[in-house]
Amino acid sequence: MIVMGIETSCDDTGVSLYSPKKGILSNVVSSQVKLHADWGGVYPDLAAREHTRNLIPVVDKALKEADVSLQEVDAVAATVAPGLIVSLVVGISSAKALSWSLKKPLVPVHHIESHIFAVFLQEEIEFPFLSLVVSGGHTELYIINGFENYIYLGGTLDDAVGEAYDKVARMLGLGYPGGPIIDKLAKEGKEVIKFPRPLLGDRGKNRFNFSFSGLKSAVLREVEKGIYRKGDIAHSFQEAVVDILVGKTVDAVKEFNIKRLVVSGGVSANSRLRERFTEESEKHGFNVYFPPLYLCTDNGAMVAYTGYRRLAETGTTVGFDFEGKARLRMDGFVEYIKEYKQKGAV
Q: Does 135 bind ligand KG4 (CB under 6 A)?
A: yes
- Among ligand KG4, Zn ion, none, the one that 178 touches (CB under a kind-dependent 5 to 8 A) is ligand KG4
- What is the smallest separation between the CB atom of 70 and ligand KG4, expressed in angstroms? 27
Q: Does 269 bind ligand KG4 (CB under 6 A)?
A: yes
- Among Zn ion, ligand KG4, none, the one that 198 touches (CB under a kind-dependent 5 to 8 A) is none
Does residue 211 contact residue 154 with C-beta atoms inside 8 Å?
no
Q: Which is nearer to Zn ion, 203 or 327 (CB)?
A: 327
Q: Which is nearer to ligand KG4, 74 or 191 (CB)?
A: 191
Q: Which is nearer to ligand KG4, 7 or 251 (CB)?
A: 7
**Where does residue 315 rank: exposed (0-12), middle (13-18), buried (19+ CB within 10 A)?**
exposed
Q: Does 265 bind ligand KG4 (CB under 6 A)?
A: yes
Dihedral, CA of residue 211, residue 214, residue 217 and residue 221, to nearest 10: -140
The residues of the shown chain that bind Zn ion, judged by CB under 5 A, are 135, 298
Q: Does 137 bind ligand KG4 (CB under 6 A)?
A: yes
Residue 95, Ramachandran bin (φ over 0: left; ψ between -120 and 50: alpha; else beta): alpha
Q: Does 136 bind ligand KG4 (CB under 6 A)?
A: yes
Q: Annotate 242-294 with DSSP letters as a single string.
A: HHHHHHHHHHHHHHHT--EEEEESGGGG-HHHHHHHHHHHHHHT-EEE---GG
Beta-carbon contacts of 271 under 8 Å, excluding residues fewer than 6 positions away, are 183, 187
- Cα separation values, 269 from 29, 105, 273, 298, Å: 17, 33, 8, 12
- What is the smallest separation between the CB atom of 310 and Zn ion, expressed in angstroms? 18
- Among Zn ion, ligand KG4, none, the one that 177 touches (CB under a kind-dependent 5 to 8 A) is ligand KG4
- What is the smallest separation between the CB atom of 165 and ligand KG4, expressed in angstroms? 5
- Binder to ligand KG4 among 249, 270, 306, 317 (CB under 6 A)? 270
Sole window of 45-53, 249-257, 267-275, 303-311 interacting with ligand KG4 (rule: CB under 6 A): 267-275
Beta-carbon contacts of 125 under 8 Å, excluding residues fewer than 6 positions away, are 119, 260, 262, 289
- Among Zn ion, ligand KG4, none, the one that 268 touches (CB under a kind-dependent 5 to 8 A) is none
Sole window of 17-25, 51-59, 262-270, 316-324 interacting with ligand KG4 (rule: CB under 6 A): 262-270
* Count of positions (residues) in the chain: 346
Q: Which is nearer to Zn ion, 112 or 172 (CB)?
A: 112
- From the CB of residue 189, how many other CB atoms can be counted at a distance below 10 Å? 20
Report the site for ligand KG4 in 37-76 (rule: CB under 6 A).
none
Q: Annotate 54-79 with DSSP letters as a single string.
A: HHHHHHHHHHHHHT--GGG--EEEEE
Q: Does 266 bind ligand KG4 (CB under 6 A)?
A: yes
Secondary structure element (H or E) that encloses residue 109, with its range: strand 106-110
Which residues contact ligand KG4 (rule: CB under 6 A)? 10, 135-137, 162, 165-166, 177-180, 183, 265-267, 269-270, 297-298
